[in-house]
Each structure stands twice: as C-alpha cells, then as structure tokens.
C-alpha cells in the first residue's frame, strides 16, 4: 500500500466521475434519492478528510463504492440506535406528562416539564413541540420548517436527552 495523497484537482476529478454513479448505487439500495445523495456526500467528505493519508489497495472506484457502502451501513446503525433511544425517551416523557401531582416544593410535574421545555434552544423547542403537542410526524415537521428529516431527528434526539438531564432530579 502506497499513500496516494489527493490534491484538489484529483479530488474534483474523482467527484465528477463517480458522484452520480455512487448516488445511483446507493439509491438502488435505499430507494431514497435524498438519503442517497447525503450518503454520497458524506463518502466524499470522508475521502477529502483522509486525502493526506489515503491509500488505494484496489481502484479508486472500488474504494469509493466500498466506502459508500460502509457509510450507508454506519448511517443505518446510527439510525437504529437513535430510533431505539428516541422511542425509550418518548415513552418516558409520555409517562411523565401524564403525572400532574404536586411535589413537596409545590411545583406540579407538568410545570417542571414546561420549564424544562422552555430551556431548550428555540429551534429544538419548536421541533419538539410540533411533534409532541401538535402531533406532527418528523416528515411533516421537515416539510413545514423547510429542513431535512435528518435535522428533525437530530433535534428531537437532542431535545429528549436535554429534557432527561433537566428533569432527572426534579421528577
């Protein structure tokens, strides 16, 4: 294995030559064009980040397709983990919101939850409330806010983690 090292011109040539092919390959695996483009972009970003130390044991094409495949697998693993954790947090939050009894300090649990939601960043709070209060799906929120579904998922994950931290000792 010899280090190749990519300059801007070589990188651009690889991108121009293989980006659409990789998108098409990924789309054949996912049937989701937007996701396919996102994974292809991540693949090329990784390539650029490793440009100094890159070494091809096979052709550049084989390397890129294998890298795209691995990036796609990583994406689905992360998504599976996110979904598992998100469902657990959502279930916990739903159980907590059903409780409306006052605690020793006189502050009702629902007030504590409202306080914690108010502590979220504005965009994250809006996404959280659209989902939990308005009942919108992640896709509907993405369409409404003109953002990607992945951004909605990311913000919901962060909201649930932050709320759990804020409410850990309070409920």
With cut-offs at 50, 70 and 90, classify the pLDDT of residue 10. Answer: confident
Share of the chain above pLDDT 90, in %: 32
Residue 20's pLDDT is 94
| Sequence spans of domains, the chain | 8-76, 99-167
Q: What's the average model confidence in pLDDT over 156-169? A: 90
Residue 90 has pLDDT above 80, yes or no: no
**Residue 59 pLDDT grade (very low, low, confident, very high; cuts 50, 70, 90):** confident
Residue-wise pLDDT tens digits, 12-35: 999 999 999 999 999 888 888 998
> Does position 105 have pLDDT exceeding 70, yes or no?
no
pLDDT above 50 for 125: yes
Give the HSE-up count for residue 142: Cα atoms under 13 Å, Cβ half-sphere. Answer: 13
Q: Is residue 100 over pLDDT 80?
A: no
Mean pLDDT across the chain = 82
Are 22 and 65 spatial neighbours (Cβ–Cβ below 8 Å)?
Answer: yes
CATH for 99-167, options being 1.10.3720.10, 3.90.1200.10, 3.40.50.850, 1.10.10.10: 1.10.10.10
Q: Mean pLDDT, to the nearest integer, of 126-141?
A: 88
Does pTM surpass 0.75?
Answer: no
Quick count: other Cβ atoms within 10 Å of Cβ 146? 6
N-term to C-term CA, the chain? 57
């Amino acid at each position: 294995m010899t280090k190749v090292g990519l300059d801007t011109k070589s990188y651009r040539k690889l991108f121009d030559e293989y980006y659409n092919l990789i998108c098409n390959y990924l789309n054949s695996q996912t049937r989701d064009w937007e996701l396919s483009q996102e994974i292809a972009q991540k693949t090329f970003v990784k390539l650029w980040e490793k440009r100094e130390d890159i070494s091809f044991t096979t052709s550049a094409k084989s390397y890129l397709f294998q890298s795209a495949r691995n990036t796609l697998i990583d994406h689905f693993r992360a998504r599976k983990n996110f979904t598992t954790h998100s469902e657990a947090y959502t279930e916990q939050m739903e159980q907590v919101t059903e409780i409306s009894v006052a605690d020793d300090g006189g502050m009702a649990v629902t007030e504590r939850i409202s306080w914690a939601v108010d502590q979220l960043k504005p965009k994250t709070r809006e996404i959280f409330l659209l989902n939990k209060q308005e009942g919108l799906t992640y896709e509907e929120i993405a369409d409404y806010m003109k953002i990607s579904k992945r951004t909605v998922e990311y913000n919901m994950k962060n909201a649930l983690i932050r709320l759990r931290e804020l409410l850990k000792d309070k409920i």
